[in-house]
Each structure stands twice: as C-alpha cells, then as structure tokens.
C-alpha cells in the first residue's frame, strides 16, 4: 500500500482540558440526544459474503446510524469496538455516556482505505513522520494504532484535549466496509463498560451495553483477541504506550528503534491529567471475580497454581489453564486457555475465558502470566492491569 508523504516538522500544540461530559449514567438515543434507553439492534453480517443481500442491508443500516450521530458496536480483528462519527463531538460524547468512561481517557479513530488513503487521513492529522509512513506500509490495515498530530477538525473529546490523535486502519473486512459505507472516520474504544473485560463477540457486547447503544454488527468472534498496539512514531526512539497484536520486535524491524513506555510500572487509577494515549496505565480488562496473576516457569506452574488455590478456602476458584498444565484438585472451574507455546491462541482466548469463568460464578480467577516476549508482552499488560499478582 502506498502512503502519501507530507513534508515539514511535527507541530506541537498546547494541552487543552477536555470539556465536561454528560453524567456517567446517562444513555443517549440514536440521533436526537434524548436521555433514554434504546432498543439495541443486532445486525448479522457474514464476513465471507459481504455482497449478500442481508449483509448489504445490515451494513447500510449501521452506516446510516453512524452518519446520524448514533452508536454502533462493530467487529475488528482485535476486539469489538463501540463506534461513533469521530468528527461529531456530540456523537463521541455518547460513547463516554454509554461506557461510563471518564473524560481523561482518549479514543482511537478508525479509518478505511478509500480510493486515496489521504482523503480520510487528511481530515484527521497534520503530519505523518517518515517512520509512521514505513509502519503504515507494513502493518496497515492491521492492529497498529499510530499517535499523530491532529487537525482542528478532531474534537477535544476524542483526544482528551491532547495534541495527538490515535489512528488505525482495521483489517477486519466488516469494519472496513462499514467505515467505507458511513464515509466518516469512526471513533471506537472497546465495546464494554469502562474497566471491564473487552468483548470478542457480539454477545459479549450485549452483556454490557444492551439498551445503551443503537446497534451491534455481529460478524462472529474476533481473530486476535487483544487490542491494537499503540505507538507514538513522533518521538525518537518511538514509544509503545500499549503493547498489542503488533509486537515490539516487529515494529523495530519495520520502523526503527522503539521502547516501551513505563515498562513494569503499576497501573494508574486516578490520573492527574488526561492520559497521553488510549489504554494507558489504568485498571482495565477486569472480570467481576478477583483476578490473581501467577508468575512461574512452566515446569513449576502446576505447583504454584495448587499453592495459590489451597489458600482460597471458601472461594469459588477458576483457572485459566494452559494445555500443558494439570489442574489443581482445589479448583472448581477450569477454562482450557490454549497451548503455552502458542501465544496467539492464548491472546485470542483471554477475554472469552475470563468472561466464561465470571459467568460460572467464580469469585477468584487464577491466571498464569506468560513470558513477556512477543505477543506475551500484550497478554501480560492486560493481565497486569486487571490482576492481583503472585510472583515466584
């Protein structure tokens, strides 16, 4: 894919405080802004048959809702996102109200490939650094979000008043077609209540947001299961604010030197100002049950899980269990997580497993922490932000 170049230096802007949003328990109608519950439509689309009559009708209806200022949950290759017209401040505010999301947490904007890529990008960003152009050529469409200097057309509510906007081009065919049909960039954080487990199916979306959004486009389970990597290519070295499906090693090979932001820091629960990046530093991805992170080598994991489970008398214990590890006898519920040697499988099943153990009534979930290498870094990031760690 050819990415148009832009000259000039990246321009910094002053931080602008985001305006106060509506009350956190308000629910918005599709396009009229009334405070009311809505009937959430479930629009089914087969990704392999986008030309089918049902798919065309469903996507046309969802696109009309987006153009009209409403909220549509849509599938991406990572997780389901809750979408609104990114250039409509009132529509984006409805995302915050539906999710009960704080104003200091910025949102990623999703774009689609049109006849010329810059027809949609030009309305969002001022400059694209050379490193960003290289990464776009390799990873777009795909699960990489780039933080770029925004234009005045991007509302403050999208970026929490920050000068950079996170932009990505999803690879999911349904997301791409919906954005193309809507004809607008789509702001879309994960389609769940703020701080809870991200959704990887339409059913997960409805568990949290049924009656609070206008529609969900159901295209089946997502592929990657963890969110996109968020990268600032304007710094030298480049900075990964959130590890994701595109790994640090892949970014370094394609784009140059890169580092992780505040690697190993404890999550921030109440920031003093707007966050610099989506998905940064807060307690996220958490099940209703208390999630306990268990760190040990694979050879010792069975013993460590048994020790942790033995101390939880009176609790209903669930375990995210790798295929290579036997379950402790003290455990009441098991979710077969996947092979320890297949981090893509662990990532794909992570959120579905946590939700499944919640649904079984577990009060504590024990989860092994995979090595912080490649995709394992993204899995550990999500677990760290949701868990109470037990280290070897």
pLDDT given at position 113:
81
Residues of the chain with pLDDT below 50 are: 1-35, 263-267, 272, 392
pLDDT given at position 6:
34
The number of angstroms, rounded, from the C-alpha of 313 to the middle of its chain's C-alpha atoms is: 35
DSSP symbols for 142-192: SSEEEEEEBPTTS-HHHHTT-SEEEEE----HHHHHHHHHHTS-EE--BSS
Q: In order of start, what are the domains of the chain with their CATH numbers?
A: 41-260 (3.90.870.10), 290-391 (3.40.50.11030)
Task: To the nearest 10°, report the CA torsion of 85, 234, 191, 372.
Answer: 170
pLDDT given at position 390:
52
pLDDT given at position 114:
63
Quote the mean pLDDT of the chain. 86
pLDDT given at position 282:
56
Q: How far apart are CA 151 and CA 122, in angstroms?
A: 8
pLDDT given at position 347:
97
Q: What is the longest distance spanned by two Cα atoms in the chain?
A: 64
pLDDT given at position 265:
47
Considering only CA atoms, which of 261, 240, 274 is closest in space to residue 96?
274
pLDDT given at position 273:
55
Which whole-number Å values give the CA distances from 63 to 17, 167, 174, 183, 192, in the listed order?
31, 19, 11, 8, 20
């Amino acid at each position: 894919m050819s990415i148009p170049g832009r000259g000039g230096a990246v321009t910094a802007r002053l931080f602008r405080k985001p305006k106060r949003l509506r009350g956190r328990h308000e629910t918005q109608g599709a396009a009229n802004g009334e405070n009311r519950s809505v009937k959430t439509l479930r629009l089914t689309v087969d990704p392999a048959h986008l030309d089918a009559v049902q798919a065309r009708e469903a996507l046309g209806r969802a696109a009309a809702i987006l153009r009209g200022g409403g909220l549509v949950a849509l599938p991406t290759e990572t997780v389901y996102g809750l979408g609104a017209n990114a250039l409509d401040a009132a529509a984006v505010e409805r995302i915050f109200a539906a999710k009960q999301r704080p104003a200091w947490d910025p949102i990623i904007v999703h774009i689609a490939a049109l006849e010329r890529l810059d027809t949609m990008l030009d309305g969002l960003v001022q400059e694209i650094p050379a490193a960003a152009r290289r990464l776009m050529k390799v990873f777009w469409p795909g699960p990489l979000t780039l933080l770029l200097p925004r234009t005045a057309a991007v509302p403050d509510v999208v970026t929490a008043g920050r000068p950079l906007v996170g932009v990505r081009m999803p690879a999911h065919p349904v997301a791409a077609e919906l954005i193309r049909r809507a004809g607008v960039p789509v702001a879309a954080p994960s389609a769940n209540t703020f701080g809870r487990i991200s959704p990887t199916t339409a059913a997960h979306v409805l568990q949290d947001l049924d009656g609070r959004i206008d529609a969900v486009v159901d295209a089946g389970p997502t592929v990657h299961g963890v969110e996109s990597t968020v990268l600032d290519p304007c710094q030298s070295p480049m900075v990964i604010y959130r590890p994701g499906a595109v790994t640090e090693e892949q970014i370094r090979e394609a784009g140059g030197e890169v580092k992780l932001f505040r690697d190993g820091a404890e999550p921030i629960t109440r920031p003093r100002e707007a966050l610099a990046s989506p998905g940064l530093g807060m307690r996220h991805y958490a099940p209703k049950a208390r999630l306990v992170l268990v760190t040990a080598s694979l050879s010792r994991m069975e013993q460590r899980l048994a020790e942790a489970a033995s101390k939880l008398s009176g609790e209903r214990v669930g375990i995210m269990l790798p295929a290579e590890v036997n379950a402790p006898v003290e455990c009441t519920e098991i979710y077969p997580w996947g092979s320890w040697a297949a981090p893509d499988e662990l990532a794909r099943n992570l959120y579905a497993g946590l939700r499944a153990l919640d649904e079984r009534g577990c009060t504590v979930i024990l989860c092994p922490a995979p090595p912080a290498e490649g995709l394992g870094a993204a899995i550990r990031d999500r677990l760290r932000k949701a868990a109470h760690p037990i280290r070897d």
